[in-house]
């Protein structure tokens, strides 16, 4: 049995990590900002309450690092929801199996219609999304969907149920480029509260998914937590710890981090913790200073003003014109959204905003131009 991140995280205590972050002082923050190379202790300082007075300086450094590494570009992508069928009962998700909602799984014709709309808008990077239902949207269904859309897009991503290593290997051989797999929270003690039933209740199976991806030769893996479930500072530290481990273990794979905040949806819980816009800016800048290579993504969960302002501060990718229900692009069907989006502006409007800020919208994952 291979070593996995599970062996690393077992050596850490959640409450000790929380206390360590809260104990950071202004001196620690200044040292972290001055260091030419950054470690996990620096990251703790940069996400600590003590760093709040330094956010403007962090933003300036983050902008400089991002432009140096990625140029003045924003990569555009969009989700294509294939199915809202789900066997899990996650308390924060509108697709919760206990919700009495209209369930839809797109057929071949519907998938191609949705893909055609996204292609007509200019997208060349599509993210295939499903609920976690092995019966309705299992491996064979995902494989078929990948084959259908691959001729239309240069970059295919998936955000679906965790799969086995050999299944990932087969999807990679068929053209899958990226998999986003969010742990939601690394706090094992509370994880089962949010995932009372379904395959997702298996904390370790989900935690070890990026290891299976790395060993399967995936091009890029996306990490993240659902902000609002637990202490965002501690959860973000464990995400950074996970990222650090993966980069050292599967160095041929690229990585991204996303920052989804809990959004309204049918029948879900209220956020346990709140994160202000200022704190989210702090977190994004902390990641960029900690890791110059990681890609940072922001979705339409965030409001227009925030998304416009974050463009220059470290983000490298964003979605635009998103729909979070199956068939949402090509029909007016009433299937339930996974969550209510906050930025409903059309793709063209987002493109113009990016250009007005002196940045270039990029439709392909590898077509980066340094300016």
* Mean local confidence (pLDDT), 278-296: 98
Note the pLDDT tens digit of each residue in 145-167.
Answer: 999 999 999 999 999 999 999 99
Output the six-digit token pair for 53. Answer: 């007075």
Output the six-digit token pair for 293. Answer: 């290579």
In angstroms, the CA 296 to CA 183 distance is: 17
pTM summary value: 0.95
* pLDDT for res 338: 63
Residue boundaries of the structural domains of the chain: 5-362
In angstroms, the CA 347 to CA 122 distance is: 9
What average pLDDT is seen over the chain?
93
Pairing of strands 317-319, 295-298: parallel
* pLDDT for res 278: 98
Note the pLDDT tens digit of each residue in 75-85.
Answer: 999 999 999 99
Note the pLDDT tens digit of each residue in 189-207.
Answer: 999 999 999 999 999 999 9
How does residue 332 score in pLDDT terms, banded at 50, 70 and 90?
low
Q: Give percent above pLDDT 90 in the chain.
A: 86
The domain 5-362 is classified under which CATH number: 3.40.50.300, 2.40.50.100, 3.90.1200.10, 3.20.20.70? Answer: 3.20.20.70
Q: Give percent above pLDDT 70 in the chain.
A: 95
* pLDDT for res 367: 41
Q: What residues contact 258, with CB distance under 8 A and at least 6 apart?
A: 180, 182, 222, 223, 224, 296, 297, 298, 299
């Amino acid at each position: 049995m291979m070593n996995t991140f599970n062996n690393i995280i077992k050596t850490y205590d959640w409450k000790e990590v929380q206390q360590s972050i809260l104990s950071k002082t202004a001196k620690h923050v200044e040292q972290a900002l001055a260091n030419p190379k950054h470690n996990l202790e620096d990251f703790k300082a940069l996400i600590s309450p003590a760093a709040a007075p330094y956010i403007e300086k962090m933003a300036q450094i983050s902008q400089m690092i991002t432009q140096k590494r990625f140029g003045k570009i924003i990569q555009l992508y969009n989700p294509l929801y294939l199915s809202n069928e789900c066997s899990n009962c996650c308390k924060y998700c509108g697709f919760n199996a206990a919700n009495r909602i209209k369930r839809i799984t797109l057929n071949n014709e519907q998938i191609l219609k949705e893909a055609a709309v996204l292609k007509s808008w200019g997208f060349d990077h599509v993210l295939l999304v499903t609920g976690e239902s092995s019966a309705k949207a299992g491996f064979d269904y995902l494989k078929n969907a990948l084959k259908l859309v691959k001729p239309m897009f240069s970059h295919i991503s998936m955000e679906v149920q965790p799969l086995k290593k050999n299944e990932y290997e087969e999807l990679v051989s068929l053209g899958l480029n990226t998999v986003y797999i969010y742990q939601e929270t690394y706090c094992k003690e509370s994880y089962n509260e949010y995932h009372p039933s379904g395959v997702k209740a298996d904390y370790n199976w989900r935690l070890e998914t990026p290891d299976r991806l790395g060993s399967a030769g995936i091009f890029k893996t996306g990490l993240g937590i659902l902000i609002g479930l637990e202490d965002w500072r501690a959860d973000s530290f464990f995400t950074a710890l996970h990222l650090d481990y993966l980069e050292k273990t599967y160095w041929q794979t690229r990585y991204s981090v996303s920052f989804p905040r809990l959004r309204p949806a049918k029948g879900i819980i209220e956020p346990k913790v709140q994160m202000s816009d200022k704190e989210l800016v702090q977190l994004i800048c902390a990641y960029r200073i900690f890791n110059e290579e990681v890609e940072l993504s922001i979705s339409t969960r965030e409001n227009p003003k925030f998304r416009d302002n974050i463009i220059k501060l470290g983000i490298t990718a964003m979605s635009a014109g998103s729909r979070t229900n199956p068939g949402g692009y090509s029909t007016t069907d009433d299937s339930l959204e996974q969550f209510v989006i906050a930025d409903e502006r059309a793709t063209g409007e987002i493109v113009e905003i990016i250009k007005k800020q002196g940045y270039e919208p990029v439709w392909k994952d590898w077509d980066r131009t340094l300016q």
